[in-house]
């Protein structure tokens, strides 16, 4: 079942790339006691994700912080090395910009009920495109895109909800 507004984020472990290599991060660590703008993309380096989705959150990071967002994070069903390379290609500096989270096996994505069958595109199981605002581990806003669209998961849309 798909996660809903008012639901608690499930316990899961994601991975982020650090200068010392991949580092696990639990959802409790990521969301506990913070307001987090989380957005998910079907794949790092894919056209819409690279040209519009990620840049929007980078461009509006300060605006989101001004509205009380402590952390902006991007999750994708990719491995930590791919997410680290995508961060580097976009000159991101971790928590100062956007925290890049790898959900390599799709465990978190399945737990929130937002998996996407992208086998028809040669991508296997991925994440649907969405954004959510999470306050102390509880979903406050949830914006799930319809297939092939990029509207409600944008930084601008989430910012307007704050």
Return the active site residues.
49
* Coil/strand/helix, residue 47: helix
In whole angstroms, give the CA distance from residue 109 to residue 127: 6
HSE on the CB side for 56, CA within 13 Å?
Answer: 22
Instruction: Specify the DSSP class assigned to residue 140.
Output: E
Written as six digits, the tokens of 107 are: 């465990």
Strands 125-127 and 115-117: antiparallel
Strands 71-76 and 99-102: parallel
In whole angstroms, give the CA distance from residue 82 to residue 89: 10
């Amino acid at each position: 079942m798909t996660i809903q507004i008012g639901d608690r984020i499930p316990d899961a472990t994601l991975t982020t790339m650090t200068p010392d290599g991949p580092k696990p991060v639990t959802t409790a660590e990521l969301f506990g006691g913070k307001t987090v703008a989380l957005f998910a993309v079907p794949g790092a380096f894919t056209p819409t994700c690279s040209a519009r989705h990620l840049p929007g959150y980078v461009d509006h990071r300060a605006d989101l912080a001004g509205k009380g967002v402590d952390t902006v994070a991007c999750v994708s069903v990719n491995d930590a090395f791919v997410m680290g390379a995508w961060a580097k290609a976009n000159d991101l500096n971790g928590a100062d910009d956007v925290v890049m989270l790898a959900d390599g096996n799709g465990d978190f994505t399945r737990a929130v009920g937002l998996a996407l069958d992208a086998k028809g595109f040669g991508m296997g199981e991925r994440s649907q495109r969405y954004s959510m605002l999470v306050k102390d581990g509880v979903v406050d806003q949830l914006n799930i895109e319809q297939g092939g669209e990029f509207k409600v998961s944008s930084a601008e849309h989430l910012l307007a909800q704050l």
